Amino acid sequence: MHLACSHCDFIVEVPDLAARQVAKCPHCRSQINLRTENNDTQVVALSLSAIILLLSSVFYPFISFSSNGLTQTITLPDAGRMLFNYDSTLLGVFIDTSIIILPLLMLILLVPLHMGLLRSLPKQWGRRVLKFTLALELWVMSEIFLVGVLISMVKIMSLADVSFGQSFWAYAGFVICYIATISRVNNERLWQQISPYQDVPVSSGIRAIDAQLRACHTCHQLTTDKRCPRCHTATHFRNMKGLQKAAAWLITSVLLYIPANVLPIMYTTSLGSREPSTLIGGVILLWEVGSYPIATIIFLASVVVPFAKAMVLATLCVLVYRQVGSRSGTYTRLYQVTEFIGKWSMIDVFVVALLVALVQLGNLMSVEPGFGAMCFGAMVICQMLAAHSFDPRLIWDPPEQVKEVVND
């Protein structure tokens, strides 16, 4: 089977792989997403377990916070719902959607898909359902939220007594089952149920664009058509509109980076005194109280990583119009790292949401979100969209070739 590497467009002849074997592009060393093992039974079992645990975590106490005889207990949906009371409705909707609704929807869809639903559905509906299901993974942030919960607890354990409810342990179990499920989903086997891969007679060792072939980024089918015959997704030699979108999202994220770091992300009220807290201020406070590992994690995830991602993406956009030569492999790996860690910068937003939901003891102690939290969340989303829009194959193209394929 001949496939084009999605990162450098190099055509590779991939043999039948045994279970747990992976193929790597000999040109850029990227992993080629082609797996042959049948994990349908495991995916169904793990998905059902994850669904049960997630539903269990919604209805029971999640965390309790006690100070001076006053107690505040929250459920999992309160993480986003409490933000509605502080004119942060969009942020609240995003949080509850990304940690509850989207993972639940994805797991519910994975069960019938791995029980043969795609064979019985009309092909046009099967394509839509499968593409929709696979697209949800980018926006599911359950594991990031769980890390944010643990960081939040470190922040407030010195101020009051904190106890984890049944819901917390159920949610932790759900995250484990969810990660195990996603690691076993075999996209290629699912697409095979809709339409078998149509191998193209072409020599390996050349780039698809040089053979006048387009590689579908959804199902990896090689074709000469402008629409993939397998999944009906629009194909391009190169997606220059994606580059323009990436630049636009990147500029927007840079503009949001400044208020996200300058404006308060939350306000803390203690004994009637209201104090603002910025990202850097929170890191300094954690460092001063001796929470060096947590301070380091938040500083890297919330300050260093977004800045580094912006610099990497800006560099890649500029270098698209220049011949990068032997450094193309390095830039590809930088892009892969940027794409992988994209949503992990959302940790600090989840920390703020947890503190707002949990610390509500009137004038004695309370936390409310600041506008900086909204800016920071929007910045992370813009950076994710920028990385997702960028076509990494452009890194390997000489400038004269880029000009020839502008929006073919």
Q: Which two tokens stand for residue 325?
A: 């030569």
Angle subtended by helix axes 371-389 and 89-96, to nearest 10: 50
Q: pLDDT value at position 407? A: 46
Residue 189 pLDDT > 90? no
> How many domains does the structure of the chain reveal?
1
Handedness of CA 31, 251, 79, 162 (dihedral sign): positive
Region 100-115 average pLDDT: 95
Please tell me whether residue 4 adopts helix, strand or coil conformation.
strand
Closest among 375, 371, 281, 385 to 339, alpha carbons compared: 385
Does the residue 246 lie in any domain?
yes
Residue 179's pLDDT band (boundaries 50, 70, 90)?
very high
Q: pLDDT value at position 326? A: 57
**Per residue, what are the HEC states of 23-75?**
EECCCCCCEECCCCCCCHHHHHHHHHHHHHHHHHHHHCCCEEEEECCEEEEEC
Residue 106's pLDDT band (boundaries 50, 70, 90)?
very high
Q: Which two tokens stand for residue 326?
A: 């032997």
Does the residue 172 lie in any domain?
no
Task: Give 37 or 262, the one with higher predicted confidence.
Answer: 262
Does the residue 77 lie in any domain?
no
Q: pLDDT value at position 78? A: 87
Q: Which two tokens stand for residue 82?
A: 């409490």
CA 115 to CA 113: how far, in whole Å? 5
Kindly report the number of other CB atoms within 10 A of residue 20's CB atom: 7
Does the residue 97 lie in any domain?
no
CA 133 to CA 102: how far, in whole Å? 10
Does the residue 79 lie in any domain?
no
Q: What is the per-residue DSSP string for 186-245?
A: -HHHHHHHHS--------TTSBGGGGT-EE-TTT--EESSSB-TTT--B--SS-HHHHHH
Strand partners, 268: 275, 367
User: Contact 32/21 with Cβ under 8 angstroms?
Assistant: no
Does the residue 321 lie in any domain?
yes
DSSP code for 362: T
CA 391 to CA 239: how far, in whole Å? 6
Region 27-54 average pLDDT: 85
Order across the sheet with 365-369: list the strands.
273-277, 266-270, 365-369
Closest among 151, 166, 217 to 351, alpha carbons compared: 151
CA 397 to CA 323: how far, in whole Å? 7
Q: pLDDT value at position 382? A: 92
Does the residue 125 lie in any domain?
no
Please tell me whether residue 128 adopts helix, strand or coil conformation.
helix
Question: What pLDDT digit, counting tens, does each position of 305-348 carry?
Answer: 888 888 988 888 888 766 555 567 788 888 888 888 878 888 88
Residue 158's pLDDT band (boundaries 50, 70, 90)?
low
HSE-CB for 105 with a 13 A CA cutoff: 17
- Tell me the residue range of the domain where 385 lies: 238-408
Residue 402's pLDDT band (boundaries 50, 70, 90)?
low
Please tell me whether residue 164 adopts helix, strand or coil conformation.
strand
Please tell me whether residue 163 adopts helix, strand or coil conformation.
strand
Question: What pLDDT digit, counting tens, does each position of 203-242 carry?
Answer: 777 888 888 888 888 888 888 888 998 889 888 887 777 7
Task: Give 269 or 93, the one with higher predicted confidence.
Answer: 93
Region 162-169 average pLDDT: 90
Percent with pLDDT over 90 in the chain? 24
Q: pLDDT value at position 41? A: 93
Residue 405 pLDDT > 60? no
Q: What is the per-residue DSSP string for 262-328?
A: HS-SEEEEETTEEEEE-HHHHHHHHHHTT-HHHHHHHHIIIIIHHHHHHHHHHHHHHHTTS--GGGH
Q: pLDDT value at position 51? A: 96
CA 150 to CA 351: how far, in whole Å? 9
Q: pLDDT value at position 174? A: 97
CA 159 to CA 147: how far, in whole Å? 20
User: Contact 386/249 with Cβ under 8 angstroms?
Assistant: yes
Q: pLDDT value at position 403? A: 53
Closest among 318, 323, 332 to 400, alpha carbons compared: 323
Q: pLDDT value at position 293? A: 75
Percent with pLDDT over 70 in the chain? 90
Q: pLDDT value at position 133? A: 94
Residue 395 pLDDT > 80? yes
Does the residue 346 lie in any domain?
yes
